[in-house]
Structure 1
Amino acid sequence: MLPATTDVLVVGAGPTGLAAAACLAAQGIDVIVVDDQAAGDNTSRAAVVHARTLEVLEGIGVSGRLTALGIHAPRFTIRDRDRTLVPVEFGGLPTRYPYTLMISQAVTERILLERLVELGGHVARPYRLESLVQDAGGVTATLSGGAVIAAKYLVGADGMRSTVREQVGITFEGGELRESFSLADVRLTGGVPRDEVVLYFSPAGLVVVAPLPDGTHRIVSTVDEAPEHPDVAFVQGLLDTRGPKRERAVVGEVVWGSRFRVHHRVAGTFRSGRVLLAGDAAHVHSPAGGQGMNTGLQDAVALAEALTAALRGEQEALDRYVAARRPVALRVLTFTGLLSRLANMNRRVRPFRNLALRTLALSPAFRRRIAWRLAGLVRR
């Protein structure tokens, strides 16, 4: 049975909600997490944790656990088939995590949940938010089944189709990209590295090939109409026309696959009174550069810190959260939008795009700037 009152009610038990709850619990704040799914989602879109995210997660003691389980990829490259256009090295960055950590979102969520439980918290399932009302003293949330929780603050971490955001009337500005994305975790042999993320900007189109700790590779590509369940032949065709040519990458098995369309949207504000938004409830954008889950996790830590301060009398901390994090989201949308436009340029101009990128990459400053931005260190 759910408690009737709490300091903070977190709606949504994805990475953002779990991280926010763990941060609050670590500060001794009473927090309840509810989620409308009967169990955690075993499928996984996100697979990258960047350096800045690992830095901010140190405060709840999960960074070491994550790095022990993931692949440390010190190099990211943009290629046109076998030709390297832009090599990006993370090794020289001023951080304890000079690499991209490749790890399934499902594993990241498991580690965050384990830490929340260690800190005395848990996730109550399945509870769907039906309605909420707020006044100067707090928020009253009514959940499916008739449960009612009175909280001093409520966090909406319930994804792109956020009920929390809709309940308080916050706009979600932006639109949907024309292209669809195909996503598949596959077993590969042949010309693919095990410690490097490769973005192929081939004339035929985009495909990303990234290693995962279980021996599979994550394949992400833009296509006009992605199949709901990509099979071996479909993924093989993508790699044959867009991936390595000199040493062919051979698909042995599709372990899991899906499709999705990408929205570029940001909430009009991240706060309505005592209700605050974080993660996909506040912003969604292209998966280019692996920024989505990372931005949400950084939101979570910043919001938990602001809520802790507010509960101790410093109400201005909540306004500072909004003032700091919404501009970050807008910059991420701009960056990922640029990467998406580069990837999806008209087929006729793609050779010229690739030549321009190869020329720019001759500059060490250009390569370092990309490394800093991908790693998230520009947001320190």
Structure 2
Amino acid sequence: MADVLVIGGGPVGLFMAALLLQHGVSVRILEQRTGAEPHSRAIGIHPPSLDALQGIGVAPDLVAEGVPIRRGIALGGGSRLAEMSFAGVSDRFPFVLALPQSRTEAILEERVRQLDPGAMRRGVRVTRLHHDGGQVTAETGTGGPAARYTAAIAIAADGVRSTVRARLGTPVRAKDYPDSYLMGDFADTTGFGPDAALFLESAGIVESFPLPGKLRRWVVRLADAAGVGDPGSGTDARWLVQRIGERTGIDVDPGSNSMLSRFGVRSRLARRMVTGRTVLIGDAAHEISPIGGQGMNLGWLDAVALAPVILASLRGEDMGMKIRNFEIGRQAAAARAARQSEINMALGRPLPAAAWSMRNRAIAAAAAVPAVNGFVARRFTMQ
């Protein structure tokens, strides 16, 4: 028995739990993984999220380990097209923080354990969820005897393949995109330091982001979603290094590769986030393209918006209008993020030489206007 069940112990579920625990709410986190995920796909923490993470006391630890990216540089054809400073996007955190998701999760889990050592339950898979008047019950299977967890409210933060969403029968608006990427982490040999670099090339975009430990993440847009003409692109670090060299002129050591992942792009927006006394947040509610790093950050902002609604409900207040306003507001935010993601992807697609040259000239001209540059910086950092 608990006040709130949080289903899913990733970065969004852990943050949601910490928000509630520090207000004295009893929380149980049900996570089907038996251990932490060592690989990291999400690395960018935006200023609004850092403000939120400051609220549970972990922002200083995250900033101490991460790389603050204070500037983005756009290049094309060997020339610098534009620079974008994040200096004006936030008074407290004027940067995007680059930190592997595995470390972000570890710091969040440690905070949860400080607040309640028994809150996290690993190796627990929810097999059934049902509402009974003023409470919700999750039935689980762990390979041993089944267990039941009952609470006033359940919050599902169990990711893009959400078991809870499937159990509730929540309809989803789905869209698949003709885009495919290969990314990998390598020793940093660029000289860019803490800057992010976007290479807007005719063959497709190459993105480069600094990471702690003198590493750098490279993301290469493939020829098409099926990988036609890209032999070996799904598994070979040498292939990725060759594409980086061809498009950017930068030599990267394939032997320094520490992570390699290929991914396609799609969006999945749940048509409702609230069913009975269960609320979907994060990727369970809205899967957004990873381009721009918006998914994890969007989930954290879901949690910030939901926490006061949950607290009011536990005090006995009527949450009907509050939860409806939450749902409307967060669905609108997810739709905006999806549109921004589409714009980001479109800018990175392969183009014939003439169209590529025209696009890059237009980007350079727009970036030279301070108001436009500032607007883009705010949008990129989810302001």
TM class by shorter chain equals: over 0.9
Aligned to 1:187: 187
CA distance in 1, matches of 2:178, 2:124: 34
1:219 maps to a residue whose letter is W
The answer to whether the 8 Å contact 1:232/1:253 transfers is no
Secondary structure at the aligned position of 1:257 is classed as strand
Aligned to 2:135: 138
Aligned to 2:311: 308
**Could you tell me which of 123, 127, 150 is aligned with 2:120?**
123
Q: Post-superposition, which runs of at least 4 consecutive aligned residues in structure 1 deviate over 3 A? A: 226-232, 247-252, 345-348
CA distance in 2, matches of 1:186, 1:237: 13
1:262 maps to a residue whose letter is V
Secondary structure at the aligned position of 1:180 is classed as strand
2:288 aligned with 1:289, yes or no? Answer: no
2:366 aligned with 1:360, yes or no? Answer: yes
2:330 aligned with 1:333, yes or no? Answer: no
After superposition, what is the alpha-carbon deviation per residue over 1:227-278, rounded to whole angstroms, capped at 9, x for unaligned?
A: 57643421211211222x3x64554411111112221121101111111011
CA distance in 2, matches of 1:255, 1:339: 26
The answer to whether the 8 Å contact 1:307/1:317 transfers is no
The alpha-carbon deviation at position 147 of structure 1 amounts to 0.7
CA distance in 2, matches of 1:81, 1:69: 34
The answer to whether the 8 Å contact 2:234/2:262 transfers is yes
Structure 1, unmatched stretches of 5+, are none
2:131 maps to a residue whose letter is Q
Give the 3 Å change call, closer, same or farther, for CA 81–239 of structure 1 in structure 2: farther
Secondary structure at the aligned position of 2:218 is classed as strand
CA distance in 2, matches of 1:312, 1:84: 56
1:100 maps to a residue whose letter is V
2:135 maps to a residue whose letter is G
2:277 aligned with 1:274, yes or no? Answer: yes
The answer to whether the 8 Å contact 2:203/2:351 transfers is no
2:86 aligned with 1:90, yes or no? Answer: yes
Q: What is the TM-score with the length of structure 2 in the denominator?
A: 0.92
1:291 maps to a residue whose letter is Q
2:42 aligned with 1:46, yes or no? Answer: yes
CA distance in 1, matches of 2:270, 2:82: 33
Aligned to 2:154: 154
Residues 228-239 of structure 1 aligned to structure 2 (within 5 Å):
230-239=235-244
Give the 3 Å change call, closer, same or farther, for CA 86–172 of structure 1 in structure 2: farther
Aligned to 2:323: 318
Tell me the percent identity: 33
The answer to whether the 8 Å contact 2:46/2:381 transfers is yes
1:200 maps to a residue whose letter is F
1:318 maps to a residue whose letter is I
2:178 maps to a residue whose letter is R
CA distance in 2, matches of 1:253, 1:331: 37
1:138 maps to a residue whose letter is Q
Secondary structure at the aligned position of 1:205 is classed as coil
The alpha-carbon deviation at position 182 of structure 1 amounts to 1.0
CA distance in 1, matches of 2:135, 2:236: 50
The alpha-carbon deviation at position 149 of structure 1 amounts to 0.9
After superposition, what is the alpha-carbon deviation per residue over 1:318-362, rounded to whole angstroms, capped at 9, x for unaligned?
A: 222212211001000000111112211543522222121111111
Secondary structure at the aligned position of 1:288 is classed as coil
2:20 aligned with 1:28, yes or no? Answer: no
The alpha-carbon deviation at position 179 of structure 1 amounts to 2.1
The answer to whether the 8 Å contact 1:180/1:261 transfers is yes
CA distance in 2, matches of 1:230, 1:305: 45
Secondary structure at the aligned position of 2:323 is classed as helix
**Could you tell me which of 93, 99, 102 is aligned with 2:98?**
102
After superposition, what is the alpha-carbon deviation per residue over 1:2-54, rounded to whole angstroms, capped at 9, x for unaligned?
A: xxx11111111111000000101011111100111111111110111111110
1:44 maps to a residue whose letter is S
Comparing 82-91 and 6-15, the one that deviates more: 82-91
The alpha-carbon deviation at position 81 of structure 1 amounts to 4.3
1:159 maps to a residue whose letter is G
Aligned to 1:198: 197
Secondary structure at the aligned position of 2:138 is classed as strand
Give the 3 Å change call, closer, same or farther, for CA 6–81 of structure 1 in structure 2: farther
The alpha-carbon deviation at position 95 of structure 1 amounts to 2.1
The alpha-carbon deviation at position 161 of structure 1 amounts to 1.0
CA distance in 2, matches of 1:250, 1:74: 26
2:377 aligned with 1:371, yes or no? Answer: yes
The alpha-carbon deviation at position 178 of structure 1 amounts to 2.1
The answer to whether the 8 Å contact 2:98/2:211 transfers is yes
After superposition, what is the alpha-carbon deviation per residue over 1:255-306, rounded to whole angstroms, capped at 9, x for unaligned?
A: 1111122211211011111110111111112222221211111112222232
Aligned length in residues: 370
1:64 maps to a residue whose letter is P
CA distance in 1, matches of 2:281, 2:220: 27
1:133 maps to a residue whose letter is H
Comparing 146-155 and 231-240, the one that deviates more: 231-240
1:357 maps to a residue whose letter is I
